Amino acid sequence: MVRMSLYPSQPQTLTYLISRSFKYYGRIFKAIFPLILLIAIVKNAPIYLGGVPAERWIRLIVLFVIALLIVYLWSVALYRAHSIFAAAPVRLKPAFRVVYSKLSLIYAGFFILIIGICLLFFIGYLLSSLAARFFVHDPLVQALVLLLFAGLPITIFLVLFFPVWTLLVTKTLSVWRAFYQSAQWVGYRNWLRMFALYASYIFVFLFVSPATLHGKWLAQHYLSFVFDAIVLSIFTPLLINFTVLLVNDLHLRNQKIT
């Protein structure tokens, strides 16, 4: 029996891609549910093991390891979803192996993104500090200037290179090629589509962030895992579906142009 790809063969509207994300929600949910639970466990492990260490460097190392593990698990979820959409489903254990073989490239891509964010923030902070020293003295205006000089460039940077993660997971590309393709595909034509995906990730991140008021309350009452498991179970399949569908759509649009 020949399997049919679930990916559209022609570029589609954003609403169509969102509707497809809902349509295949159940199928992808079943495929990645163990990964959702693992992400929730890894994220909340320090809470149930006595809390994050008070020593600054140990705390940073623990948080760094947690971040690396979550990136790995989310990458496996992306790969499994992509394999299902491409009509070549891969079981969980082989998916772990495939993504593990690409892990150095994935982490290198994240490292470059983090460096870019830090540089943009430093430049923006420097410019806003100069503006505050010589031109702007109102604290509220200073905050708006910082947002303009740092927040806006960082947002543009992340939107432009948001597909890099998915490309490194689902394609066989070098890190630099993934960044080049991401910038080429998003460009000025498709930035609004990618911003919609970026905003969706930010929305879910704020839900499960331990730095929010509700996140701190949940941690104090040892409810973080339950809350994260529920929220991630609801939103992760939609995010994953929307991600792979949108990146595929960008690929189709680029083919059409070239």
Distances (CA, A) of 135 to 69, 121, 128, 158: 45, 20, 10, 29
Two tokens at 67? Answer: 């971040």
**pLDDT value, residue 258:** 52
Which of 185, 102, 41 has the alpha carbon at shortest distance from 110? 102
pTM beyond 0.75: the answer is yes
pLDDT (0 to 100) of residue 150 = 83
pLDDT of amino acid 138: 63
Q: What is the pLDDT of residue 187?
A: 85
Give the angle subtended at the CA of 34 by the CAs of 18 and 239, to the nearest 5°: 15
DSSP state string for 15-77 = HHHHHHHHHTHHHHHHHHHHHHHHHHHHHHHHHHTT-S-SSHHHHHHHHHHHHHHHHHHHHHH
Give the separation between CA 215 and CA 213, rounded to whole angstroms: 5
- 21 burial (CB, 10 Å; 0-12 / 13-18 / 19+) is buried
Q: What is the pLDDT of residue 88?
A: 92
What is the predicted pLDDT for the residue at 130? Answer: 78
User: Scanning the structure block, which residue is given the tokens 């949108």?
Assistant: 246
- What are the structural domain ranges in the chain? 14-257
What pLDDT does residue 49 have? 80
- DSSP 8-state code for residue 212: S
The segments of the chain whose pLDDT lies below 50 read 1-2
Q: Using an 8 Å Cβ cutoff, are 21 and 242 in contact?
A: yes
Q: What pLDDT is attached to residue 137?
A: 64
Q: Which two tokens stand for residue 94?
A: 């082989």
